[in-house]
Amino acid sequence: MYILEREQRVSASREQAWAFLQHPANLDRITPPDLRFRIVTDIPDSMHDGLIVEYRITIPLIGTHTWVTEIKHIREGHSFVDEQRLGPYRFWYHYHEIRPTEEGVLLLDRVFYQPPLGLLGRLLHRLYIRRTLERIFDYRRERLAFYLSNTGY
C-alpha cells in the first residue's frame, strides 16, 4: 500500500472551497488535459453519500480506462472520500479535507492506493506511477490555487 499526501493553503473561505469541491464536474477542471479525463455519467450539482461517478481517463503510455468511484463519508463543508469501485488501481481511497486557517483554508489530500499487477505493479510504481500521480497533484495544486483565488470560477 502506498500513500500520497498533499497540503495546500489557499485564500478562499471554507464555504468557497466547499462550493467548488462539492461539484463533481469540477474534477475535470483540475485534471491535466493530457489525461483526456471525462465524466460519462449524469451527475448532480453537488455530491451526496453513495454517489457513483464513472469517468474515462487516458493514462499516457498505458491507454484509456474506465474509472468508477463512490463518494462517501461526506462531512458537509469539512471532508469527503472518493473510493474506487472499478479502475486502474487495485485499491484507491482518496480522503479530502478543508481546514480553516487565519489566511483562508488548508486543503488536505491523503490517497491510499495499491497498483495492480503485484511485483510488476511495484516496479511500475517506482518507475512511472508515483511520478505520474505527483504530476497530476502538482497540476491540481496550480488549478485549485487559480480557481479558489478567483472564487467566481
pTM above 0.75, yes or no: yes
Summarised one tens digit per residue, pLDDT across range 97-142 is 999 999 899 999 999 999 999 999 999 999 999 999 999 999 999 9
Q: What count of Cα atoms within 13 Å lies in the side-chain half-sphere of residue 28?
A: 14
pLDDT confidence of 150, banded at 50, 70, 90? low
pLDDT of the residue at 152: 52
**DSSP code for 34:** G
The values of phi and psi at residue 48, to 5°, are -145, 160
Give backbone dihedrals phi and psi of 135, rounded to 5 degrees, phi first.
Answer: -65, -40
Joined together, the cell numbers standing for residue 77 give: 463543508
More confident residue, 81 or 152: 81
Q: Hey, what domains does the chain have and what are their CATH numbers?
A: 2-149 (3.30.530.20)
Q: Mean pLDDT in the chain?
A: 93
Residue 153 has pLDDT above 80, yes or no: no
Give the model's pLDDT for residue 114. Answer: 97
- Dmax (CA) for the chain in angstroms is 46
Which one, of 33, 86, 79, lies nearest residue 55 by Cα?
86
Residues 8, 22: Cα–Cα separation, whole Å: 17
Return the pLDDT at 151: 57
